[in-house]
Chains A and B, each alone.
Chain A
Amino acid sequence: MFLNWLKPNTIQAPHIIGLKTLIHVVSLYLLISTYYLALTGDIGGDPVQTLTHFTGIGAFNLLILTLCVSPLARYLRQGQLLRVRRLIGLYAFVYAACHLYVYVAYDLIYDWTLLVNEIIDRPYITVGFSALLILLALTVTSLPALMRKMGKRWKHLHNLIYVAAILVGIHFLWSVKSDIVEPTLYLGIVAVLLVLRYEKLARYWRR
């Protein structure tokens, strides 16, 4: 295959450090610079909607990227790559948390009653909020010490990332008025990433 020019395990610890640095720099730069532009009012039309979309799509992109790591590592035979997965996943949560923050702070303008009602009444917000809670649980339990302590339960818990990915896809699809092309593409990507894990998921299901 075309990617096989890379010899197995070419990617080593120094590369991983570089890769992690890159993930930090890109994720934080995009987030901070966009927020800065929104604050100065120079982001066009309505900064609230721009920020909402940016953090939402950003979180989904990062979540998908997280799910790409293990298939990619296996396909390229680069076991070390798995070491960046947690970091990307953490940034997916950071973006998702910012997404909620923008919604609460700048769209609902801290109307907490309205927030609770919307989470209950609007199916697309219900599923989106559920996904955020899953990401929160995964983030909180992402410390290596906890991972060791939780053992098998940690694996069960972290398999919920597949549920989160599906929920986020539905959240996106249900949130649009009629332009379903982009959310459908995203759901397609999620489906492909799940199919790649067919054996694992089937095993899990049978148990």
Chain B
Amino acid sequence: MLIKSYRKNHLTEADVTDEKVFTDRRKILKSMGFIGAGSLLANSASAGFLDFFTGSDEADSQQKAAGKVRPLEFSKAEADGQHLTSEDKVTSYNNFYEFGLSKSDPKANAQGFVTDPWKLEIAGEVDNPITLDLDDLYAIGLEERIYRLRCVEAWSMVIPWIGFSLSELIKKASPNSKAKYVAFETLHDPQQMPGQRNRFFGGGIQYPYVEGLRLDEAMNPLAFMAMGVYGKTLPPQNGAPIRLIVPWKYGFKSIKSIVKISLTEQRPATSWNIAAAHEYGFYANVNPKVDHPRWSQATERRITSGGLGSDRRIRTEMFNGYGEEVASLYTGLDLTKHY
């Protein structure tokens, strides 16, 4: 079983990440006149222009973000020898189309996103429909899990999430005998999410973003609800205040900023499947043998830390290496057809 016993106060690599070095280096570069050009060249062109006129730069927005995130109390994961992706990459390379299509857009556009107060409703085929606020969610008790995240775009990260098993949340609502699937829904708030306001900005996705799991998948101990990362609450661009993490499936299954969880009898619709059914299936299990039309899934680029040339190309493992825990969920299912 991957879930090991969790020891308190065990040192992880998160503890040695020194944000100050990163921030200072930006300042030095800025004083040399490099940042201006960089901001204009990077694909966050709009943010670059704004920064240019307001005289702010990313270091400031980092501080703003730091003002929003706060430290969490949780039981730490054992360091398991995997090289973590650096915190600044985890929090600045995001697919969150509600805040823009480029990977750097969410960090630039989501800093004003209001994630407190927040309500998460659990409804549908349950005996005890409930709505939880942030305090209720924190009260479930937080633990750290270091998971590999494999994106369908053939890159991957290793990330120390903080949260609790999805099963604990679902149990609170007591699913009834009709419940076969679990449907998730992201907040729909075009006021705050520019991607939902404008279909040109939103990349042709139907909003709100929806995802789903089979109930037995959702009850697997690995399925996780994250409320924090790197020892702190989730930054908005990573799906604050609460998001799903399904480490054996491609990243797009791990829906962000969830407001509603419904237990259903029928298989729920899922956003990328609606957008392009021949490219993205309901299951979306990491599978090196089934290629996406646009990416070979046999290998992946592991993003760790450091600049250009520090990534490695590694072989992708079936179920992202979590087969021991989850393979039994799919006995008898043709994973080539049910991709």
B200 within 8 A of A: yes
* Shortest distance from the beta carbon of A83 to any chain B beta carbon, whole Å: 28
Residues 164-197 of A, flagged 1 when their CB comes within 8 A of B and 0 if not, give 0000000000110111110000000000000000
User: What is the CA–CA distance of A53 and B93 in the complex, to the nearest angstrom?
Assistant: 14
Kindly specify which of A9-17, A31-39, A148-156 makes contact with the partner chain.
A31-39
Given the known inter-chain contacts A118-B296, A178-B276, please indicate yes or no for A44 contacting B313, CB distance below 8 A. Answer: no
Residue of B nearest to A38 (CB): B308
Contact status B311-A39, CB under 8 Å = no
Contact for A179 among B101, B104, B153, CB less than 8 A:
B101
A interface, how many residues as a size bin? 35 or more
Q: What 1/0 flags go to B32-71 for Cβ under 8 Å of A?
A: 0011011001111000000000000010000000000000
Q: A178 near B42 (CB under 8 angstroms)?
A: no
Binary contact track A114-145/B, C-beta < 8 Å → 1, others 0: 10011001111000000000000000000000
Q: How far is the CA of A202 from the CA of B316 in the complex (A)?
A: 50
> Is A50 in contact with B43, judged by CB distance below 8 angstroms?
yes
Q: Are B313 and A181 in contact (CB under 8 A)?
A: no
A-B interface contact total, Cβ < 8 Å: 114
Residues on B with C-beta less than 8 A from A177 are: 153, 203, 276, 294
Binary interface profile of B, 81-101, with partner A (CB < 8 Å = 1, else 0)? Answer: 000000001001110010001
CB distance from A52 to the nearest CB of B (A): 10
CB of B43 within 8 A of CB of A46, answer no
Closest to A41 in B: B307
B203 CB contact (under 8 Å) in A33, A44, A106, A179: A179
CB distance from B49 to the nearest CB of A (A): 15
Q: Which residues of A lie under 8 Å from residue B295 when comparing CB positions?
A: 122
Task: Determine the distance from Cα of A109 to Cα of B312 in the docked complex, in whole angstroms.
Answer: 7
Are B34's CB and A46's CB within 8 A?
Answer: no
User: Within 8 Å of chain B (Cβ to Cβ): is A47?
Assistant: yes
**A69 interface hit (Cβ, 8 Å):** no
B92 with A178: CB separation less than 8 A: no
B275 CB–A CB distance under 8 Å: yes
- The digit string for A39-77, where 1 denotes a CB below 8 A from any CB of B, is 111111111111101100000000000000000000000
Residue numbers of B with Cβ under 8 A of A are 25-26, 29, 34-35, 37-38, 41-44, 58, 89, 92-94, 97, 101, 103-104, 107, 153, 155, 200, 203-205, 275-276, 291, 293-296, 298-299, 301, 303, 306-309, 311-313
17 A-B pairs with C-beta separation under 8 A: A33-B41, A34-B37, A42-B35, A42-B38, A43-B38, A45-B103, A45-B107, A46-B103, A48-B308, A49-B103, A50-B104, A54-B42, A108-B313, A114-B299, A117-B296, A121-B291, A178-B275
